[in-house]
């Protein structure tokens, strides 16, 4: 059953009108905020989730050899490959181990930077930070 152009046009016009009315209903305070302040508030709101994610990643990296993704587990795998004489696998795993060890330093730096951001957010009452 074909749709008539008039019906389609009126449906699209109605959708556009509803969208315009919803867009006009935004609070005046949100529109009055400068973009930099909105962006800062968004960063401050996300900071606790980012901190939790970094903490989980560091805990996983420092985990025991039984935990997937830990440095200890990868070191154990490198030792097994070396004992088996698989130089290609040992080289590959050593490269992954180096990258994972470097990741600890990067995540630690980011975590300390994030603490400074959370302190700034709290001092400026931008919320989200603990």
DSSP string over 41-76: HHHHHHHHHHHHHHHHHHHHHTS-TTSTT-HHHHHH
Task: Find the domain containing 100 and state its range.
Answer: 34-123
Residue at 50 is within a domain: yes
CA distance 2 to 57: 56
Residue pair 93/77 in contact (Cβ under 8 Å)? The answer is yes
Quote the number of domains for the chain.
1
Residue at 89 is within a domain: yes
Residue at 17 is within a domain: no
Residue at 9 is within a domain: no
pLDDT digit string, tens, across residues 39-94: 999 999 999 999 999 999 999 999 999 999 999 999 999 999 999 999 999 999 99
Q: Which of 73, 80, 75, 107 is nearest to 94 (CA)?
A: 75
Residue at 51 is within a domain: yes
Would the pTM count as exceeding 0.75? no
* Per-chain mean pLDDT for the chain: 82
Residue at 130 is within a domain: no
């Amino acid at each position: 059953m074909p749709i008539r152009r008039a019906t389609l046009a009126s449906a699209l016009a109605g959708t556009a009108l509803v969208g315009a009315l919803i867009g006009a209903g935004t609070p005046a305070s949100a529109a009055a905020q400068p973009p930099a302040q909105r962006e800062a508030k968004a960063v401050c709101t996300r900071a606790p989730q980012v901190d939790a994610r970094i903490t989980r990643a560091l805990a996983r990296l420092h985990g025991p050899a039984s935990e997937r993704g830990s440095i200890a587990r990868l070191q154990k795998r490198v030792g097994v490959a070396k004992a088996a004489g698989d130089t290609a696998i040992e080289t590959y795993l050593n490269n992954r181990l180096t990258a994972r060890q470097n990741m600890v330093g990067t995540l630690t730096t980011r975590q300390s930077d994030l603490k400074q951001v959370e302190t700034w957010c709290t001092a400026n009452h931008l919320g989200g930070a603990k």
